[in-house]
Structure 1
Amino acid sequence: MTFPERIGPATVVRDPDGFWTHPRYFEPESDEARQGEFGDWLHRHRLTCRTCWMESDAPPPVTAAWEAGDSKACDWQPSAPDGEGWFIGSIHDTEDGPICVWLREAR
């Protein structure tokens, strides 16, 4: 099996709302990802991931502002998972609130 070029850390420059996506991050084949498509992408690129939700990671004033209608995640600095080699794949909003997807080479 041939694997695509590896994906590694990139400089994170968040937009005015506090979001950012790695230039080589997962893109679904259609408007909505099919079940397992993200996992297939991780496997092809020999990556593993961990997620961090702003709701349970940010300081209380940041989550309170979000819940009060502030649609920005600028003041949230996502906590990296334990271990070496993690880099941010994406900080984006979801139906359940902001999430940070951490990536690293699968071991």
Structure 2
Amino acid sequence: MPIEKISFVNGEPAKCGCLMKFSSGGGEYSDVVYVTPCAAHSPKPFGPAEVKRDENGWWNHPGIPDFGGGEDPASYKAWVAQLGLELKTWDMDADLASHPYFDGGCHCNGWEPQSPGPEWFLMGIFDTEDGPHVQWARRVTP
């Protein structure tokens, strides 16, 4: 995603709606610029996304970062913890006794894993060395 510059001219709001307030510190401390981001620049909370599975039935949440394309799950687990999410994962054979995948098919079409509850949202339906898996997430309640 390209980085967008937000420009404030003569203390006026930016064209997008971001607001800026300047304080000189009155000689007692450093200059301070307070920025109130508009809706387009406010951090988006991570949560449910529209699910459009591909032709083979796979799907990943579009908000999950790339993490450099590595296989080490540590970065992903740290990111999930930072967001305050709990995960629940299981494989397709926990739901289905037979499927073309088990006989060498390369898809999971026909598998419709059900959410563990109304507060859970889908993180992905993906292939692993152990076969198709589904992963759900929900906010951890304090």
- TM-score, length basis structure 1: 0.81
Q: Which has the higher strand share?
A: 2
Which secondary structure does the structure 1 equivalent of 2:81 belong to? helix
Which secondary structure does the structure 2 equivalent of 1:16 belong to? coil
Aligned-residue identity in percent: 33
Which secondary structure does the structure 2 equivalent of 1:93 belong to? strand
Q: Structure 2 CA distance, aligned partners of 1:5 and 1:22?
A: 14
What per-residue deviation string (whole Å, max 9, x for no partner) do you get for residues 34-79 of structure 1? 5x32221111112111002101112x232xx211111110100012
Considering Cα pairs closer than 8 Å and 6+ residues apart, tell me whether 1 or 2 has the greater RCO. 1
What per-residue deviation string (whole Å, max 9, x for no partner) do you get for residues 72-106 of structure 1? 1010001222x431010011000000101101111
| Aligned Cα root-mean-square deviation (Å) | 1.7
1:39 aligns with 2:77: yes
- Structure 1 runs of 4+ aligned residues shifted over 6 Å read none
Q: Which runs of 5+ in 1 are unaligned?
A: none
Q: Which runs of 5+ in 2 are unaligned?
A: 1-42
Q: Structure 1 CA distance, aligned partners of 2:79 and 2:66?
A: 9
Q: Which has the larger radius of gyration?
A: 2
Judged with a 3 Å threshold, the aligned counterparts in structure 2 of structure 1 residues 67 and 22 are, in CA distance, closer, same or farther, namely: same
Q: Structure 2 CA distance, aligned partners of 1:89 and 1:101?
A: 5
Q: Structure 2 CA distance, aligned partners of 1:50 and 1:61?
A: 22
Q: Structure 2 CA distance, aligned partners of 1:44 and 1:27?
A: 16
Contact 1:21 1:92 (C-alpha < 8 Å) held by counterparts: yes
Query: What is the 5 A alignment of 1:76-91?
Result: 76-81=111-116, 83-91=117-125
Q: How many residues align?
A: 99
Which secondary structure does the structure 2 equivalent of 1:92 belong to? strand
Aligned to 1:98: 132
